Amino acid sequence: MIELDARRLMCPMPVIKTQNIIKTLVSGDNVRVTCTDPGVMQDIPAWCRINGHTVLKTEEIDYEYILTIEVGSD
């Protein structure tokens, strides 16, 4: 599992960071992104839907928003 710390970044920066790390990965890899801007709960899933990745899990723990993503094939 790859970890990405996107705490204290405001949208769309966490989306950009997620996109940039996914570019370096291959299909089937998993990434866990930890954020503090609640906007990510909307924006990262939208970005994943558009670009063919799957959000496996979303969690909200102590004001942190954590998304686990499986990288898609394209």
Partner 1 sequence: MATQRKAVALISGGLDSLLAAKVMLEQGVHVEGINFYTGFCVEGHTHAIRKKDKAKPKRNNALWSAEQLGIKLHIIDIIEEYKDVLINPKHGYGANMNPCLDCKIFMVGKAKQWAEENGFDFIITGEVIGQRPMSQRKDTMPVISEESGADDLLLRPLCAQNLPETKPEREGWVKRDELYDFSGRTRKPQMALAEKFGFDDYAQPAGGCCFLTDKSYSVKLTDLWASRGKRDYEIDDIMLLKVGRHLRPKPNFKLIVAREEGENNFLQGYKKQFITLRTMSHKGPLTLLDGTASDDDLKLAAQIVARFSQGREAEEVDVEVTDNGVHKNFTVKPLRSDEIEDAWRV
Q: Which residues are catalytic?
A: 11
| β-strand pairing of 2-6 with 30-35 | parallel
Using CB under 8 A as the binding rule, whether residue 56 contacts partner 1 is answered as no
Task: Return d(Cα 36, Cα 52) in angstroms, integer.
Answer: 24
Helices (H), 1-74: 13-22, 40-51
Using CB under 8 A as the binding rule, whether residue 66 contacts partner 1 is answered as no
Out of 4, 22, 33, 47, which residue is the one contacting partner 1 (CB under 8 A)?
A: 47
Binding positions for partner 1, rule: CB under 8 A? 8, 10-13, 15-16, 19, 37-39, 41-43, 46-47, 49-51
